[in-house]
Amino acid sequence: MTRTRFTAQERHGQLVTAALQAFALGGYAGTTTDQVARLAGVSQPYVIRLFGSKQELFLATVRHAGDQIEMKWRAAAAEEPTLRGLGHAYKELLAERELLIVLLHGFGAAEDPAIGEAVRSCYGNLYTVVRELTGATAEEARDFFAMGMLITVLGAMRVLGPDAVEPQPWMADILGTLPRPDTD
């Protein structure tokens, strides 16, 4: 059985992708490096070898998530450089909830200084990018991010998104007010 070998760079990417899935589900402390390893089809010690530590793996994952979101927004702004335009991109982000939820977990783990630093830097960058792309005022940007956080949290709670639970009355109530995610 001749194993397919990848370059360290390729594995790095694969592992970050796997880590995104895993950490989005379990959070930083709640996810094991072995889960990530299995998801990527690699042995656990190799994950540690490539990233040095679990924390470094998480940091890489958070940075990756930030970069991905930034990319999506830049792409969206190329078509419609307004908050409304970026809001549409949020649709897709919610469909693959992992990017947003991993950031959410980062916020939760911000007690750890290294993680806190990474997560603030990531969020600050996104804020700056959004304002640059759309020319929004500080108030508008704030509202944009506030709504984004609400949506992210609703997604994490399974009120919103692909694997949402049976909707309760109050959920329908909130969902009804959201910028319709199903129409164009």
Restricted to residues 138-177, the positions that interact with its own copies (CB under 8 A) are 138-139, 141-143, 145-147, 149-150, 152-153, 156-159, 165, 168, 170-171, 173-174, 176-177
CB-based contact 129:73 (threshold 8 Å):
yes
| Secondary structure class of 103 (helix, strand, coil) | helix
Q: Which partner, DNA, its own copies, none, binds residue 32 by CB below 5 to 8 Å per kind? A: DNA
- Asked whether position 2 contacts DNA by CB under 7 A, the answer is yes
Between the alpha carbon of residue 159 and those of residues 6, 70, 174, 178, 181, the distances in Å are 39, 25, 10, 12, 13
Site map 79..98 versus DNA, x via CB under 7 A: --------------------
**100 φψ region: left (φ > 0), alpha (ψ -120 to 50), beta (else):** alpha
Collect all residues with Cβ–Cβ distance below 8 Å to 43 and sequence separation of at least 6: 37
Contacts (Cβ under 8 Å, ≥6 apart) of 49: none
> Among residues 21, 24, 31, 144, which is the contact residue for DNA, using CB under 7 A?
31
Residue 114 engages its own copies in binding (rule: CB under 8 A): no
- Residue 97: DSSP 8-state: T
Residue 9-48 contact track with its own copies, rule CB under 8 A, x = bound: ----------------xxxxxx------------------
Tally the residues of the chain: 184
Binding mask 49-88 for its own copies (x = CB under 8 A): ----------------------------------------
Question: Over the range 124-137, which residues count as b (16 or more CB within 10 Å of their CB) and which as e?
Answer: eebeebbbebbebe
Q: State in angstroms the smallest separation of the CB of 137 from its own copies.
A: 8
Q: Is 46 in the site for DNA (CB under 7 A)?
A: yes
Contact 115, 106 (CB under 8 A): yes
Binding footprint of its own copies on the chain (CB under 8 A) = 25-30, 101, 104-105, 107-111, 116, 119-120, 123-124, 127-128, 138-139, 141-143, 145-147, 149-150, 152-153, 156-159, 165, 168, 170-171, 173-174, 176-178
